[in-house]
Structure 1
C-alpha cells in the first residue's frame, strides 16, 4: 500500500505495539519512535516493544515510548524489518500478528497482513516521513528520530543509496528546529577508545582478494572481550571495510557467538549484495545486505567468497 493508505489504516488502529529488528540500528529505532510519537499525537495508545540489543546511541529515541510489562496490544506494526528471522526473541509471539509492516528492503518477505514497502527509499525513515505527514504535522518529537533514521541508514548521506528525496526529507526535518548537529556528532563524529581499538585490529588483520577489490574484515568474540567493548562500541563497524581504496566489495564478519558470524556486505555495481546474501539465507539491498554463517572464521570467509564468485564471476583467491 501507499504511504497515504498506510496512514489511513493507522488511523483505525489503537493500543499499538511497534516492533524493531534484531541488532537494531538507527533506522528501525528512529522509525519506531517517530511512529509512536505520531500515533500518540492522534490520541492513540502506542508503545515500542523493548529491544534488549539497543545501543547507547539509539536508546534515547526509544526510551520515552517503551511498553510497560503486561501491555496487551490490539494491533502490531513492524518498522524496517524484512524477515521473520530478524524478530528479537521477545517479538517472536507476534510473528503471525503483524497488522502493518513498513519497510524498504527488496527482500521483504511479505509477513504483514498489510505492507507498505518502498525499496526505492534509501531509509525506512523516508517512508515513515510520508506516513507521518498524512497523520498530522511533523513535530520536533517526530522529526528528531526520523532524522536519526535517515542519516544513519545513509551513512550521513554518503552511501550510494542516498537520493535527492533523501536530502529533501532531511531538509524538511531540519526545518522543524531539531538539534541535528548533535545527532551527527554522536553517530558520525565521536568514537570511544574501545571503538578505535576495534578498528585498529580490523585494519591490521584485514584480508584482500581479487586484486584488492574484495576486502574482508573480522570482529571475533575474542577481540570484543580483549578490548572489553560493548555493543555501542561496535555499532556500524560494517562501514569501515568500504573505506579501503580500490575495493568494490566490503565484507565485515562479526562473530555473534563461537563460530556464528553475522556477515555485512557493502558493494558497488559489480556485485549485487542482496543476491550474494540470499545464497546464504540472508537479504537486503543491492548495495548493502547481510546474512548469518555458521563455521570457523576460515570456513565463513570461504563461503562468502564463493557466494560472491557465483554472482560476480570467479576471481583469483
Structure 2
C-alpha cells in the first residue's frame, strides 16, 4: 500500500496516462479524475480520462475537457474512486488487468491495482486526491473546482455523517482559490428537473416500509422511467430521498437498470451497516452508503436485500 508521498513520486515518473471512472459516475469519481488529470498536465504530462457513456448533465462539464481522443494508447492506467473492477464501464474492462495505480476511499476496496492507495476514513476520494496533488505542487483553480465537486457531492454538500473536520478544511482551502463553488452548490444541491421531482413523487407514493417503519424500500422500475420519459440525469442522486423520511434509518432505493436487474442503493444510520448488507450480495461501499446489483424479479430482489439487511442488523424485525 502506497503512502501519499510514494504516490506523488510514482506520478512524477509516468506519462501518457489514462484515468478511469466508475459506472454511473458521480461527482466524486468525475471530480477526482478531472483534478488528477489537470494536476498531471500541470507537470507536463500527457493525460486523459477514458470516455464514460453514463455522464449526466451535471457531471459532464467537469469531465469533457479532459476526455481522451479516439485512438489514444496509454502507457499508464489509473483508477479513481473505484472499489472493484466490477464497477468498470464496458469500455474500461479491457484495462481491468493493467491498472497501474488505484486510488480509492471505500472500505470494500479490492486492491486490484499493481499499486494501490486507499483512505477509508476519508469522506470523499477527493480528500485523498487533494493530498496527492498538494504533494506534487501548488493546487490550481483548475484542480480545485473538480475537487470541490468531489467533496461536496460525496457529503451531500457537507451534511452527511461522513463529513469530518478534515473535509471542511480541504473544502475551505479549495474555496480560497476563488473557484465558482456557488454554482456547484446551486446545480447539484438546489436544482432539480421537473422529471426528477416527478420520479421522487412516484417513489414516495410506492414506498414500502418494514421493521417498524425504520426500513424503507423505494422502487424505480423501468416502467416508471419510461412513463415520465426520464433519463440518467433526472435519476441522479435518487438514493438520497428515502433517508429524508422521518424515522427511516435504512433507505433502500431499487433502480431497475435492465429488465429484472436491480441496482440497490442503501443509505443507513448507525444501526444498519450498508457495507455489510451489500457485501452479502456481492456489492460494497461505506458503512452508511453502499450498493449492490441483484438479478431477479422485483419481489425476489426486494426479499434478498431485506434479508441481507436483517442478517447484519440484530434488532431488525421484518
Q: TM-score, normalised by structure 1?
A: 0.99
Residues 268 and 274, structure 2, Cα contact 8 Å, conserved in 1: yes
- 2:283 corresponds to 1:282: yes
| Distance in 2 separating the partners of 1:155 and 1:215 | 20
Alpha-carbon separation, structure 1, partners of 2:223 and 2:205: 15
Partner Cα distance (2:96, 2:266) in 1: 26
CA distance in 2, matches of 1:193, 1:93: 38
User: How many positions carry a matched residue from both structures?
Assistant: 317
Alpha-carbon contact 1:27-1:149 (below 8 Å) kept: yes
* Distance of 1:105 and 1:249 partners within structure 2: 19
Check conservation: 1:249, 1:266, Cα contact below 8 A. Answer: yes
Q: Say if 1:215 and 1:241, in contact at 8 Å, map to a contact too.
A: yes
Report the Cα distance in structure 1 between the residues aligned to 2:134 and 2:316, rounded to whole angstroms: 48
1:305 match? 306
Asked if the contact 1:35/1:132 (under 8 Å) is kept, the reply is yes
Q: Per-residue CA shift, 1:229-249, capped at 9, x if unaligned?
A: 010010010000000000111
Q: 1:57 corresponds to which residue?
A: 58
Mapping for residues 108-123 of structure 1, pairs under 5 Å = 108-123=109-124
Using the TM superposition, give the Cα deviation of residue 314 of structure 1 relative to its aligned residue in structure 2, in angstroms: 5.8
Tell me, yes or no, if structure 1 residue 181 matches structure 2 residue 182.
yes
Map of 2:261 onto structure 1: 260
3-state SS, counterpart of residue 254 of structure 2: strand
C-alpha distance in structure 1 between counterparts of 2:26 and 2:296, whole Å: 26
State how far apart, in whole Å, the 2-side matches of 1:181 and 1:3 are.
30
Separation in 2, partners of 1:57, 1:2 = 32
Aligned position for 1:196: 197
Q: Is the 8 A contact 2:28 2:126 kept in 1?
A: yes
Q: Match for residue 141 of structure 1?
A: 142
Distance in 1 separating the partners of 2:237 and 2:316? 28
**Which position in structure 2 is the counterpart of 1:271?**
272
* Deviations, residues 268-307 of structure 1 (Å, cap 9, x unaligned): 1111111100000000111111000111111111111100
In 1, Cα distance between equivalents of 2:187 and 2:133: 25
Work out whether residues 100 and 113 of structure 2, in 8 Å CA contact, stay in contact via their aligned partners in 1.
yes
Over 2 Å off, 4+ runs: 313-317
Question: Which ranges of structure 2 fall in alignment gaps of 5 or more residues?
Answer: none
Shift of residue 129 of structure 1?
0.3
Distance 2:6 2:174 in 1: 22
In structure 1, stretches of 5+ residues that fail to align are none
Distance 1:40 1:316 in 2: 54
